[in-house]
Structure 1
Amino acid sequence: MSDMAMTADAVEMAAERKTPKWRNWLMLSVPLLLALVGGYFWLTSGRYVSTDNAYVQQDKVSVSAEVSGPVAEVFVRENQRVKKGELLFRIDQRPYRIALAQAEAQMKAASVEVTQLQTRSAGTDADIRGAESNLGYAQRNFARYSELLDRGFTTRRQYDDALHDVEEARERLANARASAANAGAALASGGTSNQPAIEAARVAREKALLDLKRTEIRAPADGIVAQSDRLQVGNTVVSGVPMVTIVRSDDIWIEANYKETDLAKMYVGQPAEVEFDAYPGMKAKGHVASIGAGTGSEFSVLPAQNATGNWVKVTQRVPVRIRIDAPTSRPLLAGLSADVTVDTKGGAER
């Protein structure tokens, strides 16, 4: 029996010697690791707020013409990148060139009319001087006949004729002065260039030139051409109706719609991390640029009316604008879905 007991003890001691030491370390490290992970989540709980209700946004400019007419030429295509001032399309210019020619002809006609008025005004001065001279002569002649009549050396008829000549001379002088007043009223002071008729013709010419220039529609900003289906040669352009859209490439942001309960510790300037559904693995650093002035439902076309008996409280969403701090390795397209995480402990409270 003693030999058998010694054999059992030897087997047990051999088994203990064969047990690897790393197993003991593993048994101790697992609880320690769980404790560390639990402590990390306890310390960081509530620090990060995330949402997957976020989308890439870009400014979109609807381009319309300020004049109407058929499209004569198209210089861009869908998804083409353009620079500010680049020609997009041209409207048929022929009607506007004719209008410009008419305005220039009206300007010349106005210049001729003003010259005629000036000549007429100068002529009225001579008419007034002649009428005044005739009146003086008639008055002197009438005075002589009046004296002769008193002495009995003339007839009543000759006296009446002299009086009639004086009245006619006065009437001619009044008419000459009225014509001069009318000619002066038609002319403005300051020379030929300041005359109302010439100014009106000049304004009409400038409008014709502006309309002709507006037949060439150019890109209002750098960006990418979109929604250009209606931009076809022969299509009629109506003033004020958008024909094409330019998606601006110089201003990109993320609009993250956070629950109102996530805003308690959120401030402008806090760092954020953005992931994109279209580009798995790509992350972008950003920051909170602004927090919306109202919830999404508040600015909807038909805001919710909660003054009813069966009202149910719903957590509202507030748009938070996230700015990307550095260019990304892949292009950010308007409307892409994103996941945004904001570090509410980072940055400074504002």
Structure 2
Amino acid sequence: MQSPKSSPTPAVTAVTQQNGRVEPSSNPIQVEQAVVIPEHPPADSSRLPPPKQSFHLPVRKLILIGSLGLGIVAGAIYGYHWWQYAQIHQETDDAYITADIHPVNARIAGTVVQVAVDDNQVVKSGTVLVKLDPRDYQVNLEQAQAALAVAKEQSNVAQANIHVTSTNAAGQTTQAQGNIDAASASIATAQAALSEAQAGVPASQSQLAAVEANLVKAKLDYDRYNKLSKEGAVPRNQFDAAKATYDALVAQRNAAQEQVRQAQARVAQAQENLRNAKAKLASTRGTLQQANATKQQTEVNQRQYKAAIAAIDQAKSQVDNAQLQLSYTTIMAPTAGIVGNKTVQAGQRVQPGQTLMSVVSQKPWIVANFKETQLGRMKSGQQVEIKIDAFPNRLFKGTVNSLSPASGAKFALLPPDNATGNFTKIVQRLPVKVVFDSDSIRGYESQIAPGMSVIVNVETR
């Protein structure tokens, strides 16, 4: 582009745009309201944009740039808030509602005479659901009660026989037992005396041994002083003292020997007394055996009485069983809930263990299968927001109850086996139990059903 020729400042005319046209304006030139157009365009005017384009293009650019900037800022703010939200929330739609489903089974075989409930009916625990024909079981109960009465009469007869025979044998047994007790006491006394006598023998023998040891030394001294006295080597009084010591020890030895003999005699006497006491005990036991022979009939009667008591217990068990079987003809709800899957009809013949219907508990909870990468900060007690597909406009509240100890794949009937040669890493899912807040589902208890799909959002901070 060539520079324009030097000249005085050119006059300019202000124009404005109205309704898409450019018209002269008498107003002063202002930013964004007027465009100055020189009276004499530059030499290379062919390269300059036309006046209309120079007026519209910058405004469009400013609007575009401003809009783009606002969009970027809004997106950044939204992304930041979403990032913050995602840091403390974990969500999954792999979740469903479940509850305890109690099967109602027949305990006995019978014919259905009444079905007292309908499908989807709310029942309380103990509500009568089905009645079976009770007549056969009523007859069984009456037979068991009659057998119980017979057993009680037999027991009374056996008890009377025991009283008669036991009275005759009681006196003999008491006397024989007294003699045994006396003989046992005599044996105990004799054993104590024998122990005491046997303890005295070692003491006497020890004393005798000590005296004999001193006597040996005294005998040597006596012989030595006797010899020296005869030779006149020692005074007479020393010999007399040695002789006196020797004589005294001889007397002590004789006394100790006598004590040993007496101790041994006491042992022999105690042994004799013990033998006599044992013989007396054996004799009294023979008397007791004779008394026991008299008691044999009593013992027979007692065994008969015990058998009668056992027969009573057996008859009572049969009565209890018959009453229990009769009670099974009335089938009641095991818990409060809603009746479902009812397959029984009046007149139907049912068998033990046959499922007649189910009672679904009205205390539901949620099993939410989270990815293992979502469980890092999840724990029991955290707050949960719940959306049920059946109620899209209602937000429910809950709490994390517990986390499964293993992934769902581990509890499968056929767990996957990734061998070394074909290993493929798969993100596992672990079930998390979520319980509803009771206030949150108030009014919806009968509408929330097991199997419903939900979306669970856990606040993990």
**Residues 140-166 of structure 1: CA deviation (Å, up to 9, x unaligned):** xxxxxxxxxxxxxxxxxxxxxxxxxxx
Aligned to 2:409: 297
2:145 paired with 1:104: yes
How far apart are 1:176 and its partner, in Å?
9.5
Taking structure 1 as reference, are residues 343 and 225 closer, same or farther at Cα in structure 2, changes over 3 Å only? same
Partner of 1:339: 455
Return the structure number with greater helix share. 2
Q: Deviation per CA, 1:51-78, whole angstroms, max 9, x where unpaired?
A: 1110011111112232222222111111
Q: 1:241 to 1:3 in 2, by over 3 A?
A: same
The CA distance in 1 between the partners of 2:425 and 2:80, in whole Å, is 35
Aligned counterpart, 1:37: 78
**Displacement of 1:126:** 11
Q: Return the structure number with greater strand share.
A: 1
Matches within 5 A, 1:73-152: 73-118=114-159
Judged with a 3 Å threshold, the aligned counterparts in structure 2 of structure 1 residues 221 and 126 are, in CA distance, closer, same or farther, namely closer
The residue type paired with residue 398 of structure 2 is G
The structural deviation recorded for 1:83 is: 0.4
Measured in 2, the distance between the counterparts of 1:53 and 1:125 equals 81
TM-score by length of 2: 0.56
Change (3 A) 1:127 1:39: closer
Query: Does residue 1:227 correspond to 2:242, yes or no?
Result: no
- SS for the counterpart of 2:95 is strand
Distance 2:165 2:319 in 1: 32
Match of 1:146 in 2: none
User: Structure 1 residues 272 and 127 mapped into 2: Cα distance closer, same or farther (>3 Å)?
Assistant: closer
Amino acid at match of 1:201: A
Aligned residues between the structures = 290
SS at match of 2:13: helix
Q: Could you tell me which residue of structure 2 aligns to residue 158 of structure 1?
A: none
Question: Counterpart amino acid of 2:374?
Answer: D
Computed over aligned residues only, the root mean square deviation of the Cα atoms, in angstroms, reads: 3.4
Larger Rg: 2
Please give the secondary structure, in 1, of the residue aligned with 2:384: strand
The residue aligned with 1:186 is 304
Structure 2 spans left out of the alignment, 5+ residues = 1-9, 17-23, 35-58, 170-292
Q: Percent identity?
A: 31
Task: Find the partner of 1:324 among 436, 439, 450.
Answer: 436
Quick check: 2:122–2:338 contact (8 Å CA) kept in 1? yes
TM-score, scaled to structure 1: 0.72
Taking structure 1 as reference, are residues 177 and 48 closer, same or farther at Cα in structure 2, changes over 3 Å only?
closer
C-alpha separation between the residues in 2 aligned to 1:186 and 1:321? Answer: 62
> Alignment partner for residue 54 of structure 1, among 95, 100, 106?
95
**1:214 aligned to 2:307?**
no
Partner of 2:21: none
Asked if 1:5 corresponds to 2:123, the answer is: no
Q: Note the C-alpha offset of 1:253.
A: 1.0
2:26 and 2:394 map into 1 onto residues whose CA distance is 58
CA distance in 1, matches of 2:143, 2:398: 58
Contact kept? 2:397, 2:440, Cα under 8 Å: no
The answer for the alignment partner of 2:315 in structure 1 is 201
